[in-house]
Amino acid sequence: MNKAAVVARVARRMGLNRYAAEGAVDSVLEAIAECLAKEGDVRIAGLGPRRTLNRAARQGRNSGASEELAISISAG
């Protein structure tokens, strides 16, 4: 399911137009993203826990140019 499908389902269930439903979905997603950025952990009943993962720096490869490149530390 993608965001457009979620928006359509929220609009149908709540009796909203697409723009109002999209605003509601965007607000929920932004709140979750902010919480993950600050606390790193979100628990929603029925959805399960979500958390950020910190990845160490590593070497990667540009498959098109066959060059090695450094991939920096990331959270995601």
Compute the distance between CA of residue 61 and CA of residue 55 in angstroms, rounded to an integer. Answer: 17
pLDDT at 24 (0 to 100): 97
pLDDT at 76 (0 to 100): 60
What is the per-residue pLDDT across 10-48, written as a single tens digit (0 to 9) for each? 999 999 999 999 999 999 999 999 988 888 788 888 877
* Domains detected in the chain: 3-75 (4.10.520.10)
**HSE on the CB side for 54, CA within 13 Å?**
6
Q: What is the CA radius of gyration of the chain?
A: 18
pLDDT at 15 (0 to 100): 97
CA distances from 30 to 57, 58, 59, 69 (A): 27, 29, 32, 32
pLDDT at 42 (0 to 100): 85
Q: In this predicted model, which residue has the larger pLDDT, 46 or 74? A: 46
**pTM of the entire predicted model:** 0.62
